[in-house]
Amino acid sequence: MNRAHICLVAMLLWAGLLSGCGGGAGLASVLQSDPDGGIGGTGVTSSGTIDGFGSIFVNGIKFETDDARVLIGGSNARQDDLALGMVVVVTGTINADGRTGVATRVEYKEEVQGPIASITADADGDVLLLDVLGKLVIVERTGTVLDGVTFESLNVGDVVEVSGFTNEDDQVRATRVKKKADLFVGDNEVALKGAVQEVTDTQFRLGGIFINYDAADLSDIPGGMIAEGAEVEVRGEFTGNSIVANRVEEGIGLAAVFNADSELKVQGTVTGFVSASQFKVNDVLVDARDAALYPEDFVVNDGMEVQVNGVWDGAALVADEVRARRGRIKLEAAVVTVDTDASSITLGLFGGNVEFSLQADTRLNDDTAMDESLSLSDITAGDFLSVEAVRAAGRLVATRVDRIDFGDEVLQAPVERFAQGISVTLLGIDYVTLGTTFENGVDTAITPLDFYGQLSEGDLVKIRDVQIADGRADVVEFEAAFALDGDRAFDGDCQPGQGGGDSGSDGICGTQVTNALVPGGFVLPQADQTNDKVYE
């Protein structure tokens, strides 16, 4: 957005700051105390993940934070406390170049904080489903930033702080998980959000957790009365089966404080998709009927993570652009070359090289503990990376880059061509499939005849060439074109391998929905179908 010194509206991603140990202020008081960012002015609100540092990158804008006020969980904090993957709201100014700005305020609020009650892995072992205070959290091996813990070392009983975006099943797809303690004890602070149920004079229920609010600070609740169905945020101590709240605040979504004609940048998960002119992102209603799509063939559907840029008209975010923030093309391989001038990385597979371009909104993360934060200049030839990307304007643009420990070569991409029973080609790289294990869309083994009988050009498949790579595909499996990893495995209908829904005898977990593409790159849900090949 090329306007000089556009003023951002001061607001919170989640309504009202929880007090925390250092004290805090509700949303209304924050707005009233900031004459430059109050509800009466025009400007831009930008909410999204921290994707890089120097100072921080949010929604593709590099914000200087040297003089910014930083609030975490409602308490004053330092800029050094900000971390990769946190979902934040930045208040400040954007420079004339549209790519840099100066932050005056950065605000962060976790989605949930508490002990892990259970952990379930998907069939591939690349995605975990955590139960934290009854809130289901999807954690990806390379898609989630992990702090103080590794994907493999997460344990039941760990106290974790989760940041992320809520999907259509009310699950949180974690952008960041921080381990706060090894084992839950009574004085661990917890935080939970939700709609009030079964309210009495002393307690109410959020999901499956009862809240004792008899001694809680209710100063942020209108009239000091907890109402049935009200959205609230709770902070307190967990007793093992209930939370003793020290503060309960009113939960006001982003849209509640938008000013008409404000320019917005909102990142999150698409939910409630009806049409191009009616869906939600972070519970904000979006009208994208006239929006440009990035990439041009991007398909907008429930569960997709997007960034919507546009203007608030008082009822909806009227989008001028909808950007894909997650890609379905994936590669795990060693670095061949790094070009910092061109902002590109080339990875080498046994059968050839693949080049990726990086942008300001590419999230770089180091899972090897070599660097606390990762930049392009930190990456060298021989490093092993996991790269996620979209294809745009004839090139592969990385949405996420993770430096990981050396492992199998993995390539996930649409099939360009195949020789029946002999080979498949992805991104111009040929893989021999003699002696290969084949799997359908829910990781159930199928025969080579079944695989090739269902295979079509354009199908999304994942190939694993186990180390030491030799160009022969050891495992080939169909992948979902329109769903992120874990969405189908943990869709609430069943768990992997349990059947259920319309599974029948083919091992499909849950009900499948095919999608019909409509003009503008949006999809409409069609009749349920069962398909061995892939969820589409």
Indicate the CATH number of 112-181 among 3.30.420.40, 2.40.110.10, 3.10.510.20, 2.40.50.140: 2.40.50.140
Domain 329-407, CATH homologous superfamily name and number: Copper binding periplasmic protein CusF (2.40.50.320)
Average pLDDT for 437-442: 93
pLDDT in tens, 474-483: 999 999 988 8
Q: Which of 377, 331, 374, 328 shows the shortest CA–CA distance to 353? A: 331
Judge whether residue 30 has pLDDT over 60. no
**44 vs 467, more confident:** 467
Phi, psi dihedrals of residue 71, rounded to the nearest 5°: -125, 130
> What pLDDT score was predicted for residue 26?
35
Is 191 strand, coil or helix? Answer: strand
pTM (predicted TM-score): 0.85
Judge whether residue 527 has pLDDT over 60. no
Judge whether residue 20 has pLDDT over 50. no
Gap between the Cα atoms of 125 and 127, Å rounded = 6
Lowest-confidence region among 2-6, 113-117, 159-163, 309-313: 2-6
Lowest-confidence region among 39-53, 91-105, 200-214: 39-53
pLDDT band, residue 525 (cuts 50/70/90): low
Gap between the Cα atoms of 251 and 314, Å rounded = 19
Contact 113, 180 (CB under 8 A): yes
Task: Give residue 456's Cα distance to chain centre.
Answer: 30
Give me the residues paired with residue 430 across strands: 425
> What pLDDT score was predicted for residue 31?
31
Q: Where are the alpha helices (DSSP H) in 12-135?
A: 27-32
pLDDT band, residue 34 (cuts 50/70/90): very low
Same fold, 189-250 and 329-407: yes
| Torsion sign over Cα 297, 301, 304, 307 | positive
**340 vs 38, more confident:** 340
**Which H or E element spans position 515?**
strand 513-518
Q: Domain segments of the chain: what residues?
A: 6-108, 112-181, 189-250, 329-407, 410-478
pLDDT in tens, 280-312: 998 899 999 999 999 999 999 999 999 999 999
Q: Which of 79, 82, 52, 63 shows the shortest CA–CA distance to 375? A: 52
Average pLDDT over the chain reads 85
pLDDT in tens, 398-435: 999 999 999 999 999 999 999 999 999 999 999 999 99
Is 519 strand, coil or helix? Answer: coil
pLDDT band, residue 19 (cuts 50/70/90): very low
Gap between the Cα atoms of 171 and 406, Å rounded = 31
* Residue listed under structure tokens 């009030």: 196
> What pLDDT score was predicted for residue 262?
80
Answer whether CATH 2.30.29 is correct for domain 189-250: no
Q: Which of 95, 89, 46 shows the shortest CA–CA distance to 317? A: 46
Lowest-confidence region among 133-147, 160-174, 359-373, 377-391: 359-373
Average pLDDT for 357-363: 95
> What pLDDT score was predicted for residue 177?
98
Give me the residues paired with residue 396 across strands: 391
Lowest-confidence region among 193-202, 247-256, 380-389, 468-477: 247-256
> What pLDDT score was predicted for residue 191?
95
Average pLDDT for 143-147: 94
> What pLDDT score was predicted for residue 104?
85
Judge whether residue 488 has pLDDT over 50. yes
Could you tell me the two tokens for 400? 């996420």
Judge whether residue 340 has pLDDT over 90. yes
Contact 338, 383 (CB under 8 A): no
